[in-house]
Amino acid sequence: MPDERRGLAQGVTQNFGSNLIANTLGPVIIVWMAISFGWRNAFFLAAVPGVVMAMLIAALVREPAAAAPAARTSRGGFVAAMGDRSMLLCIAISTLLVAYLVVSFTFAPLYLIRVRGFDQRHMSWIMSSFGVASMAMAFLVPGSSDRFGRKPVIIVASILGLVLPFGMLFTTGTQLVPIIACIAVGAALSGVFPLAMATIPSELVGPDKTATALSLTMGISEILGGVLAPSVAGKVADLKGLSMILWIVAGLIVAIIVLATMLRETAPAVLRGRSEGMIEPST
């Protein structure tokens, strides 16, 4: 895959399959099993994809060939990566994205049932709609960033992401269409995940330090955003009610937008276009 299509390649790799299994099929199948056989048994089913993934990795994944010395363009390791402003911004944005996803999927089902009045089956379809829309966004958002640039696409997708929490807050009743429409639009934010966690970090360092860059964004974001955010959000919900969860989610998205405005553009096609535009035509 050429560098000019890196965003699309990493977006599909990271987002399409995960959204198909975890966010589209997961809510429907797990809730159905929980209703039919009990929530305890449903948790055993949730472990199956992890076991299958481990078996597929062991059977199919091969170590890539070592890069030739001339192809190594590394700008340093851990210390150099942490000294790059855009890398730090990607770590912060990734942390907020993980917090957004974990908080949303932890508390949105409770909000839909207890506050909005949906039953468990309808709640599962609403949550599944996020996965369906996110599969499309796995192509649309990262692919658009290859052409228009990482920074503007992240900003636009994040602004669209605000439709999800505000749609849940301000639509009323138990009609499925309005809230699913809001979730489908808001799912644009899911396309930012591979850009912040993988595409931009891999473009900030040489190919021999890509694993270091990606481990920084993914590792730190999972620890901070995935572990701390649900605990904090849960305490807020206990004190202020479940509706506050959606305001927290909206606040996380606004913070992502602000940080994204400070990113340095890294899309190869955009940078090449800028470079060519600066060259005076020969006379």
Q: How far apart are CA 194 and CA 19, in angstroms?
A: 13
> Cβ(15)–Cβ(138) under 8 Å?
yes
Question: What is the DSSP secondary structure assignment for residue 195, as one 8-state letter?
Answer: I
For helices 120-148 and 176-186, give the axis angle rounded to 10 degrees.
30
Tell me: the pLDDT tens digits for 33-45? 777 777 777 777 7
More confident residue, 127 or 11: 127
Tell me: the pLDDT tens digits for 68-91? 444 444 455 555 666 778 999 999
Residue 228 in tokens: 């701390």
* Domain 3-51+77-275: CATH superfamily, name plus number: MFS general substrate transporter like domains (1.20.1250.20)
Q: What residue spans of 38-77 are helical by DSSP H?
A: 39-46, 48-60
More confident residue, 249 or 64: 249
Q: How far apart are CA 90 and CA 27, in angstroms?
A: 29
Place of tokens 């299958």: 52
Residue 219 in tokens: 């590792």
Residue 29 backbone class (left: φ over 0; alpha: ψ -120 to 50; beta: rest): alpha
> Is 27 a residue whose pLDDT tops 70?
no
- The full set of domain ranges for the chain reads 3-51+77-275
Interacting residues of 112 by C-beta distance below 8 A, sequence separation 6+: 118, 122, 123, 126, 127, 168
> Cβ(195)–Cβ(141) under 8 Å?
yes
Kindly indicate the confidence band of residue 270, based on its pLDDT and cuts at 50, 70 and 90. confident
Q: How far apart are CA 130 and CA 23, in angstroms?
A: 7
In the predicted model, what is the mean pLDDT of the chain?
A: 82
Amino acid at 83: G
Residues 247-267, mean pLDDT to the nearest whole number:
95
> Cβ(150)–Cβ(11) under 8 Å?
no
Q: Tell me, what's the pLDDT at 125?
A: 87
Q: Tell me, what's the pLDDT at 262?
A: 95
